[in-house]
Amino acid sequence: MLELTGVTVAFDRTVAVESVDLTVADGAVLAVLGPSGCGKSTLLRAVAGLESLTSGSIAWDGADLGGTPTHRRGFALMFQDGQLFDHLTVARNVGYAQRLRGLPRSEVRAEVDDLLTLVGLAGFGDRLPRTLSGGERQRVALARSLAAKPRLLLLDEPLSALDAELRVRLAADLRQILTASGTTALMVTHDQDEAFAVADRVALMRSGRLVQEGAVAEVWAHPVDEEAREFLGARRRFTGEEAARILAAAGLPPESGVSIVVRPSMDGGLGTKP
């Protein structure tokens, strides 16, 4: 598992990440969620080994990664724009790492086919990236990241470049693909819907610090403070008589002291969570 202890990254004048403690268990998907400028990309880059730590440590299965360069960490990084090789077919993009490792052609082809099936692009192997939609390109990028069999997948706002409708669909697929492949993943995003749809656990980040970490449902139900609640997009809160009427209308048993928060949900309907 990944373990961050007291991780601090400071630039000349800015402390971008401050004393962050965080773990990502094997097979878990954790989203670091926070507004632009809160330090989440710096945190991700530090985990990838692209940013040096001012203090603290990052370890994998108890082994400190301080002296391990990016390419030796066994992590894969996937960005917003996928960064595909435009002159290579989908299959060659996905099989790039295996070919570099010198695996036999038939083996590479079989693995690529499996990965394309996993991301819902079976039969797309001979297409060129420019003939694909934005969502399809991101699926190819995901397949390529998974091809390297990373022990940890790092995702930097993986769906942010897509339009809203596609984002919703791909978020659900991304979760399913990560779960089906048993991938351990750390994602950073400013988009709460993306975080909640894809991750098992969410860590809220503000001004370089983590302010709350927990299971998705737990963070949703109990934001640590008013700022967190607002950031999580709670649009309205009903209490007392109003809450009682909503419970009754939903056919739920009456409960005293309950408050109901209403926010837009990923499926475009009204999502409510008591």
- Please tell me whether residue 268 binds ligand ADP under the rule CB under 6 A: no
Closest CA to 187 of 166, 148, 158: 158
What is the SS3 assignment for 269? coil
- Least distance to ligand ADP, CB of residue 116, Å: 31
Nearer to ligand ADP, 77 or 146 (CB): 77
Please give the Cα distance from 29 to 189 (Å, whole number).
13
| Lookup: tokens for 106 | 């038939």
Task: Give, to the nearest 10 degrees, the angle between helix 164-180 and helix 134-147.
Answer: 20
Task: Give, to the nearest 10 degrees, the angle between helix 134-147 and helix 105-118.
Answer: 130
- Least distance to ligand ADP, CB of residue 217, Å: 24
| Span near ligand ADP by CB under 6 A; candidates 39-47, 118-126, 223-231, 250-258 | 39-47
Closest CA to 188 of 61, 24, 56: 24
| Span near ligand ADP by CB under 6 A; candidates 32-40, 62-70, 82-90, 103-111 | 32-40
Q: 2, 4, 7, 16: which one contacts ligand ADP (CB under 6 A)?
A: 16
What is the SS3 assignment for 114? helix
- Least distance to ligand ADP, CB of residue 38, Å: 4
Between residue 40 and residue 69, which ones bind ligand ADP under the rule CB under 6 A?
40-42
Q: 6, 26, 37, 123: which one contacts ligand ADP (CB under 6 A)?
A: 37
Residues that bind ligand ADP (CB under 6 A): 11, 14, 16, 34, 36-42
